[in-house]
Structure 1
């Protein structure tokens, strides 16, 4: 009996402890709920928020994402919404967001923007509405409001924020921007309108008095207003690539005094003078790639004394007049590849005293004279591949001490000269341990790429063969040798010139015939066997036919 009473008391005590613990947990849960009600706002799903709610980043969010944040966006300074399904912005979308400085709504389906939806940001400095479906800026656009009624409203008016410096409207379907809107962006410094459907640069762009960078590439521009060239803009960078421009009005000095970068590539320009840059003396980067320019005149670049990078590749240039670069002593990179140049005079590149990169590849150059690069002492990279060069003067590279890469591949060269591979002091370039990759020549100073030529391994290369094999370093060890792959005669084809014996480098026809037979010996044996087999078969057939007639 006593033991049963003890057990009952223990059970009762355990139940009491459980009840008390449960009541405490319930009280703790209530207190946590009260504390959570006062806790900071938690970020929504598919969004990232900073602790102070100043920065919010959302991706693949629903159309009503801003509504969920509206009560807590009073302190927000940076809001970025990407790949969402937002299609419209209403007048009350951004209420109570007076501290907003950077707003990004990109890669969405937005086509409707209410007139006052973006006029509530007095501190806005950065606006990105790229890759949406905006068609017109500054004209009425019909869209359905939140009550499913059709309304007419203007697209964003930027006149309210004097702090706005960056506007990105690229990747939309904009065809026109009204002068009112352009005047409203007079404080903007960077304006990106690329990848739209703009057809013309009108005089309204002259109202952008504070603009430093204008990007109108990948549009359908065919005409540039004359007033654009006579404006007093402070432009530093102008990008007009991938349009249909045939001529740009002459940019007066006061309109391009600060211009440093200009890209007019992939247009329909027929001459360089049609770019209208004769007064832009401070320009440093000029891209004229993929146009229809056929001639470089001696007066095309004479006023561009600060030019550092010039790209005229993929045009139809057939000749370059002497003195074309005499006033471009600061030019460092020159790209003239993919043209139809056939001849280069001794004084063509005479003025390029600071050039480090010269790309003359994929032209029709047949000959390189001895003094072609005589004044280009800073040249490091020279590309001549893909031409029709059959001869390079022996001392062409004698005044190029900083040379790193010379690409001579895919030409018609037949005979190498030892003077190509000598530094100005006479020291052999190949004075390091052997380092050869396929058909490359690696040196301490230069890398010569020589594949795809018609190297003849006969008596004409004996001198070079003897000279290259005789090169040794200060320790008396053989240096790395240039890899010249033979093209002819056929029995040497594919072999390294410097691995051949000197006795096999001959121009004797009997010698060639002997080695031709030895080299093709197995082919002769196979053909002889086939012929004997065919004769035996024909003889057997003739005997069978004779026996048949005798029967």
Structure 2
């Protein structure tokens, strides 16, 4: 055979063998000594062969597996976690999981399962987590699917396209769930008492685009559910008519609307729904859109009288398309008297009207982070008799510019003890300031200040001035117990004589080279010191470590 032909033949054989070996390389698992095997995103078309009892955790998610056979996992008798999500599985043999008696975590989400079988779970009495979301089934099977799972605590079912019905038998056998997630964006039928068969649910996440069936579901859950979360719900046409409820005491504690669409009219209907909860309630609106102008019906609100037992109200990232036409919400002021905690974050708030502040007579905690508050409008909000019981005010990342004006405006808040005005641009600190007389906690982190003055209140017990441009600390604060001054330019520890009560000092990421044992001992009440991230030069003669490093132990 000529030399050139021989060379070509050998190269062809090598290339052919490398191509044949490629699938084998892609299908290999990465397993550690503890039996945790990682096979994610490896273009697998089937469950790898050769799995043994040594495998404790198997992750085969994000592959192209289409079939789970009865023998594929037979030897994995010690398997505790099996993740098969985001594959193309359309068939699971009846006894595919029969040998997995120790399994606690099973993920079959986002596959192509059009039918579910209760026989899959007959041997899985130890199962705690089951995820069946995102498969194209229409029902949860003919027989009760979860009756063999007494230890199940987290269950995720349904899909956003082809799951139209919840049947009376669907949850039989389940008595307690920590979390239940139901994808039912196009739910059309709900059999009464279907969810009531579960005696206790800590957290229900319900994806429901149209809320027509919400009243029926809500009534069934009042005596068993602690936390209801609705996602991607359009309340444009929601109408909550009076319903008959036998329970005098409900266990619901929290209600979240996430990515919901709300109108002026439906807001009133939502308040009606909240009035059926008997105990103290936390209500949260997260990433919601208000398609209205705040023009609420006075006659409808007159029938409500209050926000029910809502004590905590949280609003994050509220979008109001017609904000330029928005009303002042005067019609709901009278409903707010019992609310104790309010968070309105990243929602373009620039003013809380004085009259609303005066109606918030029970308010103890107010968080207006990431908004547009300035000293001028804050003065109107913190008017005389506003927020009489407020003890915590958070104005992080707003448009405040003057410490002197901010302190002066807040003097009206006689019970204010905690103030967070971090991430505002103050730059400089005046020599003197006025503050509420009970101030104990002040957060001035990330405010670009470069020096400290007697503007700081002498009553402080906790001060956070981290992430600024400070190169020294020589201020007397006789009651200060905690000082957070990391990420500045300090070259030495503060003088202990200025801080006789200090018990916590966090001074990491400064430019400190060294400090002596005597300096450290001078803080007589110090219990916690964090000083990492400094360029220490350590020396035994100073009673510290004997090496040069970025951190020194004491």
CA contact (8 A) 1:288 1:312 kept: yes
* TM-superposed deviation, 1:240: 0.8
CA contact (8 A) 2:118 2:146 kept: no
Q: Does 1:382 align with 2:403?
A: no
* TM-superposed deviation, 1:347: 3.2
CA contact (8 A) 1:356 1:379 kept: yes
Residue 254 of structure 2 is matched in structure 1 by: 237
Distance 2:282 2:368 in 1: 16
CA contact (8 A) 1:271 1:295 kept: yes
Q: Which has the higher helix share?
A: 1
Distance 1:204 1:163 in 2: 20
1:277/1:379 CA distance change after superposition, 3 Å: farther
1:83/1:202 CA distance change after superposition, 3 Å: closer
CA contact (8 A) 1:129 1:169 kept: yes
Aligned length: 390
Residue 227 of structure 2 is matched in structure 1 by: 213
1:322/1:391 CA distance change after superposition, 3 Å: farther
**Please, what TM-score do these two structures have when normalized by structure 2?**
0.53
Distance 1:85 1:473 in 2: 63
**Which of 336, 347, 359 is the equivalent residue of 2:383?**
347
- Once the two structures are superposed, the pairs formed by residues 59-458 of structure 1 within 5 Å of their partners are 59=84, 64=91, 67=94, 69-72=96-99, 75=101, 78-82=104-108, 85-91=111-117, 93-94=119-120, 96-97=122-123, 99=125, 102=128, 104-106=130-132, 109-113=135-139, 115-119=141-145, 121=147, 123-124=149-150, 125-126=152-153, 128-129=155-156, 132=159, 135-138=162-165, 157-161=169-173, 163-165=175-177, 168-170=180-182, 172=183, 174-176=185-187, 178-180=189-191, 183-185=194-196, 187=198, 189-190=201-202, 192-194=204-206, 197-198=209-210, 200=212, 202-205=214-217, 206-209=219-222, 210-227=224-241, 234-246=251-263, 247-249=267-269, 250-251=271-272, 255-265=276-286, 266-268=288-290, 270-271=293-294, 278-281=306-309, 283-287=311-315, 289-292=317-320, 295=328, 299=333, 302-305=336-339, 307-311=340-344, 313-322=346-355, 324=357, 328-329=361-362, 331-335=364-368, 337-339=370-372, 342-343=376-377, 344-345=379-380, 347=383, 350-351=386-387, 353-359=389-395, 361-363=397-399, 368=406, 370=408, 372-373=410-411, 374-383=413-422, 385=424, 394-397=432-435, 399=437, 401-406=439-444, 409=447, 419-421=454-456, 423-424=458-459, 437-438=468-469
SS of the residue corresponding to residue 455 of structure 2 reads helix
- Where do 5+ consecutive residues of structure 2 fail to align? 1-51, 61-72, 321-325, 489-494, 499-554
1:394/1:289 CA distance change after superposition, 3 Å: farther
**Which of 30, 43, 58 is the equivalent residue of 2:83?**
58
**Please, what TM-score do these two structures have when normalized by structure 1?**
0.54
Distance 2:357 2:398 in 1: 21
| Cα deviation digits, residues 76-109 of structure 1 (max 9, x gap) | 6745124574523344643744846645134664
CA contact (8 A) 1:281 1:303 kept: no
* TM-superposed deviation, 1:121: 1.0
CA contact (8 A) 2:114 2:138 kept: yes
| Cα deviation digits, residues 282-317 of structure 1 (max 9, x gap) | 523433652547647593564325x23432541455
Distance 2:56 2:396 in 1: 57
* TM-superposed deviation, 1:43: 7.6
